[in-house]
Amino acid sequence: MTQESNAEATPPAQYKVPIVYRHAVVITLLVAIAAGSILLAWELRVLLLDLILALTVASAIAPIAEMLEKKGISRAVTVICVYGLVLFFYAGVGFALAVPLSEQAKLLAEQLPRLSLIIQDWWSHILSIVGDKVDALDIHATDLREPVISIAKKTLSLTAGFMGLALNAVLTLFLAAYFVIEANHIWDKLLLWLPKQHRTRARSLINPLAGRMGGYVRGQLLVSTAVAAVFAVGFTVIGLKYGLVLGIVAGVLNLIPYVGSLTATFLALFIAASDSLQMVGLTFAVFALEQLAETNFIVPLLLGKNVDMHPLVVMFSILIGGSLAGAAGALAAVPSAAAILLLAQEFYFKPLNDQPLTDIASEASSVP
């Protein structure tokens, strides 16, 4: 009876899952979570870009708001004044550009007959070179149907894209204003989501992060000034009319990388076409030289210095951001990379370099 009772009292042995299977399950879950997070971020990339740009703009305005707040001026008033000054500046540039553009449009209309004769001479010269194969250059109405439809579709898509860009710009400015006005309360609420032992360290990173992201705006202002100077000097040297105005336009619009350069070049070609074909070629040459200087020297040096990044990192960040998300991605790439590098330095490089050599040696000796 005793043996039978002991046998009944002994619980059955529990089956233990091998540790390899448990590790496999954990790794599978982590990979699934990472893949889901990447997919979600990609689907919400437009909203994330707006958020990054809003934080960047807010980081640039925040020092001004803090300084004026100490003098009794509310943050809301500061944001309204900054937005108003920027709007007034852009409106002034547009007004200054309206008069010369209207004059050049009239001159171009007067020059159209002469330009059409030049184009006809070129076409006749091409036909004389082609000779017997001239029939291959004949264009019929049916051949133009598909290109015209394609151009119409692209035009509608471009219009929708501009409308979406305008809405995103409004959203970005609204979020930036909210971040500046409610900055004292937002961070306190966000830090409550962290464990108490990590809140002090997280709070110490807020100002460095804001400094780097705001430094992007300061650096982009310097880049815009340099671009304006290059275009103004270049257009003046070749004798293009309104070169100074076009240079200012390039600088003002170049707050979005390379947008100012392309816009100023398009307007310059419009003005050069009313002068001569030689002026058109010289305008292209100025644009090529400016792009070379902006890509290889101006952006990496001026922008990289203000965000504490190597010029090559700045250049590759812009290229990667532009290839992934277009102009908005190029605009948000540098502040995003600056924030990521700061976090990497704080949580990886500093602990790695502060580790004593004896600990590193012991870890190396323990490796089989």
Q: Is residue 256 part of a domain?
A: yes
pLDDT per residue as tens digits for the range 315-334 = 788 788 878 877 778 778 88
Residue 360 above 50 pLDDT? Answer: no
Within-domain flag for 9 = no
243-253 helix and 75-130 helix, angle to the nearest 10 degrees? 120
Q: Where are the alpha helices (DSSP H) in 256-310?
A: 259-273, 277-293, 304-306
Write the pLDDT tens digit of every residue in 239-255.
887 777 788 888 877 77
Of 89 and 364, the one with more pLDDT:
89
Would 129 be classed as within a structural domain? no
- For residues 164 and 45, the answer to whether their CB atoms sit within 8 Å is no
pLDDT for the residue numbered 328: 74
Q: Average pLDDT in the 64-81 region?
A: 89
Residue 104 has pLDDT above 60, yes or no: yes
Domain membership of residue 319 (yes or no) is yes
In a domain, 342, yes or no: yes
How many domains does the chain contain in total?
1
CA R_g for the chain: 30
The mean per-residue pLDDT over the stretch 195-222 comes to: 83
Q: With 50 as the cut, is the pLDDT of residue 261 above it?
A: yes
- Per the domain annotation, does 261 fall within a domain? yes
DSSP states of 129-172 as a string? HHGGGGGGG---HHHHHHHHHHHHHHHHHHHHHHHHHHHHHHHH
Residue 269 in tokens: 């070609």
What's the whole-number mean pLDDT along residues 26-55?
A: 79
The domain of 244 spans 19-113+170-353
What's residue 337's pLDDT? 86
- The string of DSSP letters for 205-258 reads THHHHHHHHHHHHHHHHHHHHHHHHHHHHHHHHTT-TTHHHHHHHHHHHTTSTT
Residue 145 lies in a domain: no
Please tell me the pTM assigned to this model: 0.64
Distance from the Cα of residue 14 to its chain's centroid: 58
**Residue 239: phi, psi to the nearest 5?**
85, 20
Average confidence score pLDDT of the chain: 75
**Residue 367 in this model has a pLDDT that exceeds 50:** no
Mean pLDDT check: name the lowest of 158-162, 273-277, 351-355: 158-162
Whether residue 56 is predicted with pLDDT greater than 70 in this model: the reply is yes
Kindly give, in sequence order, each residue whose CB lies less than 8 Å from that of residue 110, ignoring residues fewer than 6 positions away: 274
Distance CA 357, CA 368 (A): 19
**pLDDT higher than threshold 70 for residue 161:** no
- Pick 122 or 217 by higher pLDDT: 217
Examine residue 339 and state whether it is found in any structural domain, yes or no: yes
Helix H or strand E encompassing 27: helix 19-43
Round to whole Å and give the CA distance between 297 and 300. 6
For position 81, what pLDDT does the model report? 92
Model confidence at 365: pLDDT above 60: no
